Amino acid sequence: MARSPRIVFPALALAGAAFAFYTVLTAQDPTPARPAVSPPSNPYATAVSGSGIVVPPSERNVELGAPFAGVVTSVFVKAGDPVEADAPLFQLDERPLQAELRTREAALAAALARRERLRALPRPEEVPPLVARVSELEMTLADWQSQVRRMETALEKNPGSVAGDDLERRRWQAKAAGQALERARAELHLTRAGAWAPDLAQAEAEVLQAEAAAQVVRTDLERARVRAPGPGVVLEVNVRVGEYAQAGGGGLVVFGDRGAPLVRVDVDEESAPLVQGRPKALGTLRGFPHHRFPLEFVRIEPYMKPKRSLTGDNRERVDTRVLQVLFRIAEQPLPVYVGQQMDVYMEGPDRTAIVEAGSRPSTGEGR
Partner 1 sequence: MIYVAWRMLVGDRVKYVSLVLGLAFAIMLITQQGSIFIGIMRRTYSMLTDMGAVRVWVMDADVQTPDDVKPLKDPDLLRVRSVPGIAWAVPLFKGQGRARTRHGEFQNAMVLGLDSASLMGGPSEMLEGRITDLYRQDAVIVDAPGALRLGGLKIGDVLELNDRRAEVVGICRTERNFQSLPVVYTTYSRAQGFVPAERHMLSFILTAPQPGVSDAELARRIRANTGLGALPTDEFGWRTVRWYTRNTGIAINFGTTVLLGFFVGLAIAAQTFYTFTHENLRHFAALKAMGAGDGKLVTMVLFQAVVSGLMGYGIGVGVATLFGRSAPRGGPLAWHTPPELLYGAFGLMLVLVSIASVISLRKVLTLEPGIVFK
Q: Under the criterion CB under 8 A, does residue 38 sit at the interface with partner 1?
A: yes
Continuous H helices in the chain = 4-26, 95-120, 127-157, 164-193, 197-223, 351-358
Q: Under the criterion CB under 8 A, does residue 34 sit at the interface with partner 1?
A: yes
Q: Tell me the C-alpha distance between 177 and 171, whole Å.
A: 10
Q: Under the criterion CB under 8 A, does residue 9 sit at the interface with partner 1?
A: yes
Q: Tell me the C-alpha distance between 223 and 203, whole Å.
A: 30
Q: Under the criterion CB under 8 A, does residue 360 sit at the interface with partner 1?
A: no
Cβ count within 10 A of residue 366: 6
Q: Under the criterion CB under 8 A, does residue 21 sit at the interface with partner 1?
A: yes
3-state secondary structure of 49: strand
Q: Under the criterion CB under 8 A, does residue 27 sit at the interface with partner 1?
A: yes
CB of 351 to partner 1, least distance (A): 5
Q: Under the criterion CB under 8 A, does residue 266 sit at the interface with partner 1?
A: yes
User: Across the strands, what pairs with 262?
Assistant: 55, 328
Q: Under the criterion CB under 8 A, does residue 268 sit at the interface with partner 1?
A: yes
b/e burial code for range 58-97 (CB count within 10 A of at least 16 → b):
beebbebbbbeebebeebbbeeeeebeeebebbbbbbeeb
Burial of 236 (0-12, 13-18, 19+ CB in 10 A): middle
CB of 29 to partner 1, least distance (A): 6
User: Across the strands, what pairs with 253?
Assistant: 64, 237
Q: Under the criterion CB under 8 A, does residue 259 sit at the interface with partner 1?
A: no
Q: Under the criterion CB under 8 A, does residue 43 sit at the interface with partner 1?
A: no
Q: Please, which of residues 296-325 interact with partner 1 by CB under 8 A? A: 307, 309-311, 313, 315-317, 319-320, 322
* Nearest partner of 260 among 58, 44, 7, judged by Cα: 58
Burial of 264 (0-12, 13-18, 19+ CB in 10 A): buried
Q: Under the criterion CB under 8 A, does residue 45 sit at the interface with partner 1?
A: yes
For partner 1, the closer of residues 168 and 350 by Cβ is 350
Q: Residues 271, 277, 280, 284: is their CA dihedral positive or negative?
A: positive
For partner 1, the closer of residues 28 and 362 by Cβ is 28
Q: Which range of residues in 8-16, 75-83, 194-202, 228-236 is near partner 1 by CB under 8 A?
A: 8-16
Q: Which range of residues in 233-241, 243-251, 298-306, 350-358 is near partner 1 by CB under 8 A?
A: 350-358
Q: Under the criterion CB under 8 A, does residue 289 sit at the interface with partner 1?
A: yes
Q: HSE-up of 107 (CA within 13 Å, CB side)?
A: 16
Q: Which range of residues in 71-79, 81-89, 203-211, 344-352 is near partner 1 by CB under 8 A?
A: 344-352
Q: How many residues sit in the footprint of partner 1 (CB under 8 A)?
A: 67
For partner 1, the closer of residues 228 and 323 by Cβ is 323
Apex CA 259: angle with CA 54 and CA 253, to 5°?
Answer: 70
Q: Under the criterion CB under 8 A, does residue 41 sit at the interface with partner 1?
A: yes
Q: Under the criterion CB under 8 A, does residue 335 sit at the interface with partner 1?
A: no
* Nearest partner of 94 among 129, 113, 128, 66, judged by Cα: 66
CB of 86 to partner 1, least distance (A): 41
Q: Under the criterion CB under 8 A, does residue 163 sit at the interface with partner 1?
A: no
Q: Tell me the C-alpha distance between 233 and 82, whole Å.
A: 4
Cα-Cα-Cα-Cα torsion 65, 67, 73, 79, nearest 10 degrees, comes to -20
Total number of residues shown for the chain: 367
Q: Tell me the C-alpha distance between 205 and 112, whole Å.
A: 10
CB of 311 to partner 1, least distance (A): 6
Q: Under the criterion CB under 8 A, does residue 148 sit at the interface with partner 1?
A: no
Q: Under the criterion CB under 8 A, does residue 46 sit at the interface with partner 1?
A: yes
Binding mask 57-96 for partner 1 (x = CB under 8 A): ----------------------------------------
Binding-site ranges for partner 1 (CB under 8 A): 2, 5-6, 9-10, 12-21, 23-25, 27, 29-42, 45-51, 266-271, 274, 286-287, 289, 307, 309-311, 313, 315-317, 319-320, 322, 345, 348, 350-352, 355
